[in-house]
Structure 1
Amino acid sequence: MKTYKVGDIVDIKANGSIQKGMPHKYYHGKTGVVYNVTKSSVGVIIHKIVGNRYLEKRVNLRVEHVKHSACRQEFLNRVKTNAAKKREAKAKGETVFLKRQPAKPREARIVKTVDNVPQTLAPVPYETFI
Protein backbone atom coordinates (compact mmCIF):
# COMPACT_ATOMS: atom_id res chain seq x y z
CA MET A 1 0.00 0.00 0.00
CA LYS A 2 1.30 3.44 -0.90
CA THR A 3 0.59 6.64 0.99
CA TYR A 4 -1.17 9.48 -0.78
CA LYS A 5 -0.90 13.08 0.36
CA VAL A 6 -2.84 16.15 -0.66
CA GLY A 7 -1.25 17.61 -3.80
CA ASP A 8 0.07 14.30 -5.16
CA ILE A 9 -0.38 13.74 -8.90
CA VAL A 10 -2.11 10.40 -9.52
CA ASP A 11 -3.27 8.33 -12.49
CA ILE A 12 -6.71 6.74 -12.31
CA LYS A 13 -6.61 3.09 -13.30
CA ALA A 14 -9.76 1.13 -12.45
CA ASN A 15 -9.17 -2.31 -10.93
CA GLY A 16 -11.97 -4.64 -12.04
CA SER A 17 -11.54 -7.03 -9.12
CA ILE A 18 -12.68 -4.36 -6.63
CA GLN A 19 -16.07 -2.83 -7.41
CA LYS A 20 -16.33 -0.50 -4.43
CA GLY A 21 -15.16 3.03 -5.07
CA MET A 22 -14.66 2.37 -8.76
CA PRO A 23 -14.49 5.39 -11.10
CA HIS A 24 -16.77 5.92 -14.07
CA LYS A 25 -15.30 4.67 -17.35
CA TYR A 26 -14.64 8.27 -18.47
CA TYR A 27 -12.05 8.78 -15.73
CA HIS A 28 -10.05 5.61 -16.46
CA GLY A 29 -6.59 6.67 -17.68
CA LYS A 30 -6.95 10.29 -16.58
CA THR A 31 -4.46 12.15 -14.39
CA GLY A 32 -5.52 14.32 -11.47
CA VAL A 33 -4.44 15.90 -8.19
CA VAL A 34 -5.34 14.52 -4.75
CA TYR A 35 -7.40 17.00 -2.71
CA ASN A 36 -8.75 14.76 0.08
CA VAL A 37 -7.46 11.64 1.84
CA THR A 38 -9.46 9.23 4.04
CA LYS A 39 -8.51 5.84 5.47
CA SER A 40 -9.61 3.84 2.42
CA SER A 41 -10.10 6.37 -0.37
CA VAL A 42 -8.79 9.55 -1.93
CA GLY A 43 -10.50 12.53 -3.54
CA VAL A 44 -9.07 13.51 -6.93
CA ILE A 45 -9.59 16.70 -8.93
CA ILE A 46 -9.84 16.11 -12.69
CA HIS A 47 -10.43 18.64 -15.46
CA LYS A 48 -13.14 17.36 -17.82
CA ILE A 49 -13.90 18.89 -21.22
CA VAL A 50 -17.60 19.69 -21.50
CA GLY A 51 -18.56 21.59 -24.63
CA ASN A 52 -16.02 24.37 -25.09
CA ARG A 53 -14.76 24.59 -21.49
CA TYR A 54 -13.00 22.66 -18.75
CA LEU A 55 -14.97 21.70 -15.66
CA GLU A 56 -13.24 20.78 -12.42
CA LYS A 57 -14.64 17.42 -11.35
CA ARG A 58 -14.05 16.04 -7.85
CA VAL A 59 -14.09 12.25 -7.78
CA ASN A 60 -13.81 10.06 -4.68
CA LEU A 61 -12.03 6.78 -5.40
CA ARG A 62 -10.70 3.86 -3.44
CA VAL A 63 -6.91 3.64 -3.28
CA GLU A 64 -6.99 0.41 -5.32
CA HIS A 65 -8.05 2.46 -8.36
CA VAL A 66 -5.28 5.09 -8.26
CA LYS A 67 -1.49 5.03 -8.57
CA HIS A 68 1.21 7.68 -8.37
CA SER A 69 1.85 9.30 -11.74
CA ALA A 70 5.25 8.85 -13.36
CA CYS A 71 5.19 12.39 -14.77
CA ARG A 72 6.09 13.85 -11.37
CA GLN A 73 9.01 11.44 -10.95
CA GLU A 74 10.38 12.36 -14.39
CA PHE A 75 10.22 16.04 -13.42
CA LEU A 76 12.04 15.42 -10.12
CA ASN A 77 14.76 13.43 -11.91
CA ARG A 78 15.20 16.28 -14.39
CA VAL A 79 15.50 18.80 -11.53
CA LYS A 80 18.26 16.68 -9.94
CA THR A 81 20.25 16.33 -13.15
CA ASN A 82 19.88 20.06 -13.92
CA ALA A 83 21.14 20.95 -10.43
CA ALA A 84 24.15 18.67 -10.91
CA LYS A 85 24.89 20.25 -14.31
CA LYS A 86 24.65 23.74 -12.76
CA ARG A 87 27.09 22.81 -9.97
CA GLU A 88 29.63 21.41 -12.44
CA ALA A 89 29.31 24.42 -14.75
CA LYS A 90 29.69 26.85 -11.84
CA ALA A 91 32.84 25.06 -10.68
CA LYS A 92 34.30 25.30 -14.21
CA GLY A 93 33.03 28.87 -14.72
CA GLU A 94 30.94 28.02 -17.78
CA THR A 95 27.34 28.60 -18.76
CA VAL A 96 25.10 25.58 -19.20
CA PHE A 97 22.02 25.19 -21.43
CA LEU A 98 19.27 23.36 -19.49
CA LYS A 99 16.30 23.65 -21.84
CA ARG A 100 15.00 20.41 -23.31
CA GLN A 101 15.31 20.17 -27.08
CA PRO A 102 13.00 18.22 -29.38
CA ALA A 103 14.53 15.29 -31.24
CA LYS A 104 16.36 16.48 -34.33
CA PRO A 105 15.79 14.94 -37.76
CA ARG A 106 18.01 12.01 -38.65
CA GLU A 107 20.99 12.66 -40.87
CA ALA A 108 20.75 11.87 -44.59
CA ARG A 109 21.95 8.51 -45.86
CA ILE A 110 23.15 7.54 -49.30
CA VAL A 111 22.31 4.14 -50.77
CA LYS A 112 24.87 3.08 -53.35
CA THR A 113 23.75 0.96 -56.30
CA VAL A 114 27.19 -0.48 -57.00
CA ASP A 115 26.95 -4.23 -56.24
CA ASN A 116 23.43 -3.51 -55.00
CA VAL A 117 21.13 -3.53 -58.03
CA PRO A 118 17.60 -2.25 -57.34
CA GLN A 119 14.96 -4.97 -57.54
CA THR A 120 11.56 -4.46 -59.12
CA LEU A 121 8.79 -5.74 -56.92
CA ALA A 122 5.45 -6.94 -58.22
CA PRO A 123 2.42 -8.26 -56.37
CA VAL A 124 1.92 -12.03 -56.27
CA PRO A 125 -1.06 -13.04 -58.45
CA TYR A 126 -4.08 -14.16 -56.47
CA GLU A 127 -4.83 -17.86 -56.89
CA THR A 128 -8.03 -19.60 -55.91
CA PHE A 129 -8.09 -23.27 -55.02
CA ILE A 130 -11.45 -25.02 -55.32
Structure 2
Amino acid sequence: MGGKSKGKRSGTRYKFSQGFRKHGECTANKYLEKINYGDYVDIVCDSSQQKGMPFNFYHGRTGKVFHITKRGVGVLVNKRVRHRIIQKKVCVRIEHVRKSRCNEDFILRKKKNQEIIKEAKLKNEHVSVKRKTEGPKPAAMIKVPPSKLITVEPLPFYEEY
Protein backbone atom coordinates (compact mmCIF):
# COMPACT_ATOMS: atom_id res chain seq x y z
CA MET A 1 0.00 0.00 0.00
CA GLY A 2 2.00 2.89 -1.28
CA GLY A 3 -0.40 5.77 -1.71
CA LYS A 4 -0.87 8.47 -4.28
CA SER A 5 2.13 9.52 -6.36
CA LYS A 6 3.17 13.16 -6.05
CA GLY A 7 4.86 13.79 -9.38
CA LYS A 8 5.41 17.21 -10.97
CA ARG A 9 2.15 17.02 -12.91
CA SER A 10 -0.02 15.34 -10.28
CA GLY A 11 -3.42 17.00 -9.81
CA THR A 12 -3.27 18.88 -13.11
CA ARG A 13 -5.92 16.94 -15.05
CA TYR A 14 -8.15 20.00 -15.50
CA LYS A 15 -5.57 22.73 -14.99
CA PHE A 16 -3.47 21.75 -18.02
CA SER A 17 -6.31 20.55 -20.26
CA GLN A 18 -6.97 22.47 -23.46
CA GLY A 19 -10.32 24.08 -24.20
CA PHE A 20 -12.90 22.66 -26.57
CA ARG A 21 -11.55 22.73 -30.17
CA LYS A 22 -8.29 24.27 -28.92
CA HIS A 23 -6.17 21.08 -28.98
CA GLY A 24 -2.96 20.61 -30.95
CA GLU A 25 0.19 22.63 -31.44
CA CYS A 26 0.26 26.38 -30.94
CA THR A 27 0.23 28.75 -33.91
CA ALA A 28 3.18 30.67 -35.36
CA ASN A 29 1.93 33.92 -33.77
CA LYS A 30 3.14 32.62 -30.41
CA TYR A 31 6.75 32.48 -31.66
CA LEU A 32 6.55 35.84 -33.46
CA GLU A 33 5.28 37.75 -30.41
CA LYS A 34 7.92 40.27 -29.34
CA ILE A 35 8.87 40.15 -25.66
CA ASN A 36 11.30 42.63 -24.10
CA TYR A 37 13.08 42.90 -20.77
CA GLY A 38 10.79 44.32 -18.09
CA ASP A 39 7.57 43.28 -19.86
CA TYR A 40 4.80 41.76 -17.79
CA VAL A 41 3.87 38.26 -18.96
CA ASP A 42 1.24 35.71 -17.93
CA ILE A 43 2.48 32.16 -17.47
CA VAL A 44 -0.14 29.89 -19.05
CA CYS A 45 0.97 26.29 -19.53
CA ASP A 46 0.37 24.78 -22.96
CA SER A 47 0.05 21.03 -22.40
CA SER A 48 0.77 20.24 -26.07
CA GLN A 49 4.38 21.34 -25.47
CA GLN A 50 6.02 19.48 -22.56
CA LYS A 51 9.44 21.11 -22.92
CA GLY A 52 10.08 24.16 -20.78
CA MET A 53 6.79 23.80 -18.90
CA PRO A 54 6.84 25.45 -15.47
CA PHE A 55 5.61 23.79 -12.28
CA ASN A 56 1.82 23.93 -11.99
CA PHE A 57 1.90 26.53 -9.18
CA TYR A 58 3.02 29.16 -11.71
CA HIS A 59 0.14 28.48 -14.15
CA GLY A 60 -1.92 31.69 -14.36
CA ARG A 61 0.66 33.83 -12.54
CA THR A 62 1.91 37.17 -13.82
CA GLY A 63 5.57 38.12 -13.66
CA LYS A 64 8.25 40.38 -15.10
CA VAL A 65 10.75 39.26 -17.75
CA PHE A 66 14.33 39.47 -16.47
CA HIS A 67 16.12 37.17 -18.94
CA ILE A 68 15.61 36.26 -22.61
CA THR A 69 17.14 33.29 -24.44
CA LYS A 70 16.68 31.77 -27.89
CA ARG A 71 13.70 29.60 -26.92
CA GLY A 72 12.53 30.87 -23.57
CA VAL A 73 12.34 33.65 -21.04
CA GLY A 74 13.18 34.07 -17.38
CA VAL A 75 10.27 35.43 -15.35
CA LEU A 76 10.26 36.92 -11.84
CA VAL A 77 7.12 35.78 -10.01
CA ASN A 78 6.06 36.66 -6.47
CA LYS A 79 5.28 33.64 -4.29
CA ARG A 80 3.81 33.80 -0.80
CA VAL A 81 5.60 31.43 1.57
CA ARG A 82 4.06 31.54 5.05
CA HIS A 83 4.51 35.13 6.26
CA ARG A 84 6.67 36.53 3.47
CA ILE A 85 6.63 37.07 -0.29
CA ILE A 86 9.60 35.66 -2.21
CA GLN A 87 10.60 36.60 -5.76
CA LYS A 88 11.04 33.34 -7.65
CA LYS A 89 12.97 33.10 -10.92
CA VAL A 90 11.22 30.76 -13.35
CA CYS A 91 12.67 29.73 -16.71
CA VAL A 92 9.79 29.17 -19.12
CA ARG A 93 9.66 28.31 -22.79
CA ILE A 94 7.93 30.80 -25.14
CA GLU A 95 4.92 28.49 -25.69
CA HIS A 96 3.92 28.83 -22.03
CA VAL A 97 4.04 32.64 -21.94
CA ARG A 98 1.79 35.42 -23.25
CA LYS A 99 2.02 39.18 -22.93
CA SER A 100 0.02 40.44 -19.97
CA ARG A 101 -2.56 43.21 -20.18
CA CYS A 102 -2.23 44.05 -16.48
CA ASN A 103 -0.64 47.48 -17.04
CA GLU A 104 -2.43 48.38 -20.28
CA ASP A 105 -4.46 51.21 -18.69
CA PHE A 106 -1.30 52.56 -17.01
CA ILE A 107 0.51 52.79 -20.37
CA LEU A 108 -2.50 54.53 -21.97
CA ARG A 109 -2.69 57.01 -19.08
CA LYS A 110 1.04 57.67 -19.41
CA LYS A 111 0.69 58.47 -23.14
CA LYS A 112 -2.30 60.77 -22.52
CA ASN A 113 -0.41 62.59 -19.77
CA GLN A 114 2.57 63.14 -22.09
CA GLU A 115 0.26 64.65 -24.72
CA ILE A 116 -1.40 66.92 -22.13
CA ILE A 117 2.02 68.11 -20.88
CA LYS A 118 3.19 68.73 -24.47
CA GLU A 119 0.13 70.88 -25.24
CA ALA A 120 0.53 72.79 -21.97
CA LYS A 121 4.19 73.54 -22.75
CA LEU A 122 3.21 75.04 -26.11
CA LYS A 123 0.72 77.33 -24.32
CA ASN A 124 3.22 78.10 -21.50
CA GLU A 125 0.80 76.78 -18.87
CA HIS A 126 1.31 74.62 -15.81
CA VAL A 127 -0.93 71.57 -15.73
CA SER A 128 -1.34 68.87 -13.08
CA VAL A 129 -1.71 65.33 -14.40
CA LYS A 130 -2.35 63.79 -11.00
CA ARG A 131 -5.45 61.65 -10.74
CA LYS A 132 -8.16 63.20 -8.62
CA THR A 133 -10.64 61.23 -6.58
CA GLU A 134 -14.22 61.46 -7.72
CA GLY A 135 -16.14 63.70 -5.35
CA PRO A 136 -19.66 63.16 -4.06
CA LYS A 137 -22.57 63.35 -6.47
CA PRO A 138 -24.29 66.74 -6.72
CA ALA A 139 -27.45 67.32 -4.69
CA ALA A 140 -30.75 66.43 -6.32
CA MET A 141 -34.37 67.02 -5.34
CA ILE A 142 -36.72 64.05 -5.42
CA LYS A 143 -40.37 64.86 -6.06
CA VAL A 144 -42.72 62.62 -4.06
CA PRO A 145 -46.45 63.24 -3.55
CA PRO A 146 -47.32 64.02 0.11
CA SER A 147 -49.62 60.99 0.30
CA LYS A 148 -46.64 58.64 -0.14
CA LEU A 149 -44.45 60.19 2.58
CA ILE A 150 -43.79 57.92 5.57
CA THR A 151 -42.28 58.94 8.90
CA VAL A 152 -39.77 56.35 10.03
CA GLU A 153 -39.49 55.88 13.81
CA PRO A 154 -37.77 53.28 15.96
CA LEU A 155 -39.93 50.75 17.82
CA PRO A 156 -40.68 51.59 21.47
CA PHE A 157 -38.49 49.90 24.07
CA TYR A 158 -40.16 47.34 26.37
CA GLU A 159 -38.49 45.70 29.35
CA GLU A 160 -39.19 41.98 29.42
CA TYR A 161 -38.12 41.01 32.95
What is the TM-score with the length of structure 2 in the denominator? 0.58
Output the CA distance in 2 between the equivalents of 1:104 and 1:23.
Answer: 46
Pick 1 or 2: higher relative contact order, CA cutoff 8 A, min separation 6. Answer: 1
What is the TM-score with the length of structure 1 in the denominator? 0.69
Output the CA distance in 2 between the equivalents of 1:90 and 1:63.
Answer: 43
In the other structure, the counterpart of 2:109 is 78
Aligned to 1:37, which of 68, 73, 87? Answer: 68
The 3-state SS of whatever aligns with 1:56 is strand
Output the CA distance in 1 between the equivalents of 2:62 and 2:138.
Answer: 37
Count of residue correspondences: 118
Cα RMSD (Å): 2.8
Output the CA distance in 1 between the equivalents of 2:116 and 2:63.
Answer: 31
- Report the structure, 1 or 2, having the larger strand content: 1
Output the CA distance in 2 between the equivalents of 1:103 and 1:65.
Answer: 40
% identical equivalent positions: 42
Residue 28 (1) aligns with residue 59 (2): yes
Unmatched runs of 5 consecutive residues or more in structure 2: 1-31, 149-161
Pairwise mapping of residues 46-57 of structure 1 onto structure 2 (< 5 A)?
46-57=77-88
Amino acid at match of 1:20: K
Structure whose alpha-carbon radius of gyration is higher: 2
Q: Describe the shift of the 1:104–1:36 C-alpha distance in structure 2 as closer, same or farther (beyond 3 A).
A: same
Aligned to 1:94, which of 125, 132, 137? Answer: 125
